[in-house]
A = this chain, B = another copy of it.
Amino acid sequence: MSTQLAYSANHEATAAPAILARGPWTRASMDGTPDRDGSLSMAGPVLHFTQDREIYGEGDAADVFFKVVSGVVRTCKFLSDGRRQIDAFYIPGDVFGLEAGAEHTLSAEAVCDCSVVSYRRRSVGKLAANDAGLSHQFFAYAMRSLAQAQEHALLLGRRSAVEKVAAFLIEWAGYSPDSKVISLAMTRQDIADYLGLTIETVSRTLSQLEREALIEVAAARRIRLTDPTALRNLNS
């Protein structure tokens, strides 16, 4: 938990701007999001969620969407027997929960204690109708999410456990202030459900990578990339 708080604090300090700046094209952030173009009036209240609290469920009315202020959020789907597939993690600055239809197609939950801003979708729709630029932003947002989902499908369908874990580490190194040390907000179970593996396989694979001196597991949630290049080469 201390690691989680450290992680959150980390991002709260650098805050949204830095993360938005890092690359809107690789994350589900939106430069055109209301509070960036000055029309802050559209933003609803900031909401707080404690760890593992559901933000919305699959099938819930999608009349609002959110932007992460601090902490980390996950979106996921469930099978009736409880199997879970995590679709994406969202870090400060990222937008999630935006839908075309009336209902959410996934659930969203707080990975750690986190706060999010909500936006009424209706008012955004009206705004977009009069603002070609903004509506293009929405399209771009959707297509960016799509590209990520497709990359994720490739990983799930065609990569081995080592490759999956390596890809995960590299992805998160990119979001870390120090790209050599990763502070994870999520549990092994979250990682497993994101990669389509079991918790044990994730753990074993991390141990294996440590044995091979590619990484160093300083603490369970704190991983140093000893050899990022070799790690990257695992994914051809």
Task: List residues of chain A with CB under 8 Å of any chain B CB.
Answer: 25, 77, 79-81, 83-85, 87, 98-101, 105-106, 125, 128-130, 132, 135-136, 138-140, 142-147, 149-154, 156-159, 193, 195-196, 235-236
Number of copies: 2
Contact: B25 with A101, CB < 8 Å? yes
Contact of A154 among B77, B159, B235 (CB under 8 A): B77
The reply to whether B135 and A139 form a contact with Cβ atoms under 8 Å apart is: yes
B143 lies within 8 A of A99 (CB) = yes
Whether B132 lies near A142 (C-beta < 8 A) is: no
Contacts of A152 in B (CB 8 A): 149, 153
> Does B196 lie within 8 Å of A157, measured CB to CB?
yes
Considering the complex, give the chain B residue whose CB is closest to the CB of A145: B146
How many angstroms between the C-alpha atoms of A153 and B154 in the bound complex?
9
What are 14 A-B interface contacts by the 8 Å CB criterion?
A25-B101, A79-B158, A81-B236, A100-B142, A100-B144, A101-B143, A128-B132, A129-B136, A130-B132, A135-B135, A135-B136, A139-B139, A142-B142, A158-B196
Q: Which 9 A-B pairs have the closest CB atoms?
A: A157-B196, A142-B142, A100-B143, A149-B149, A156-B156, A80-B236, A129-B132, A156-B157, A85-B154
